[in-house]
Amino acid sequence: MIEKTSVLIALFAALIAVLGLVPAFPLASGVPITAQSLGVMLCGTVLGSKKGGLATLFFVILTLLGLPLLAGGRGGVGLLAGASAGFIIGFPMAAFITGWLMEKTSSVDIHISVSLSSIVGGIVVLYIPGLIGMMINAGMSLNAAIVAVAVYLPGDILKVILVTIVTSAIFKARPNSIFARS
């Protein structure tokens, strides 16, 4: 099954890259609103912790090595000095925790399971390194960084709703394709 795992990792990493082509909304904080965090959540809810985390890690490594995969054609190790650094580093952790929670709540209704996993993994876990990154790279205090990232919350809530719709639809059509539950 190594073939299937490799292909899933490659295709979901590519899906995150393609979601970067959905127009991003640049915000004053320097971290744009993009659909790529949606892809990160989707990696966790569909692929589960290990595969989802690896797909996202793969995407992040190739981006940091210089491929222009982030929204707006950004890439390269220079991203680590920018406002998005914490969020980029947090992508694999977010996908892993999202997937792990999906696996742990596999007996719960799919809508609740996906929503809960995406909120905890895709928002809470992702925001922790995101805040640390903003504090280090922008020299902000914790309170100021929290205020700066608060504007992303409504968009992220919408992403959680969308991930719930997509994952539930996949589960309804092909239950075995939700690897976090199989």
Positions touching other proteins (CB under 8 A) are 2-15, 17-18, 21-22, 26-30, 35, 42, 46, 58, 62, 65-68, 72-83, 137-140, 144, 162, 165-166, 169-170, 173-174, 177
CB of 179 to other proteins, least distance (A): 10
Would you say 11 or 153 has its CB closer to other proteins?
11
The least CB distance from residue 139 to other proteins, in Å, is 5
Nearest approach in angstroms of CB 123 to other proteins is 18
The gap from C-alpha 109 to its chain's centroid, in whole angstroms, comes to 22
Min dist. Cβ of residue 3 to other proteins (A): 4
How far apart are the C-alpha atoms of 163 and 122, rounded to whole Å?
Answer: 10
Give whichever of 28 and 107 is closer to other proteins, judged by the CB atom: 28
Residue positions counted in the chain:
182
Q: How far is the CB of 104 from other proteins (least distance, A)?
A: 22
Considering the complex, state which of residue 1 and residue 107 has its C-beta at the smaller distance from other proteins: 1
Q: Which is nearer to other proteins, 82 or 146 (CB)?
A: 82
Q: Which of 83, 24, 94 is nearest to 53 (CA)?
A: 94
Which runs of consecutive H residues, i.e. helices, occur in 20-84? 36-42, 49-64
One-character DSSP codes across 124-150: IIHHHHHHHHHHHHH---HHHHHHHHH
Q: 3-state DSSP call for residue 17?
A: helix
- Which CB, 2 or 107, lies closer to other proteins? 2
CA dist., res. 67 & res. 88, Å (int): 14
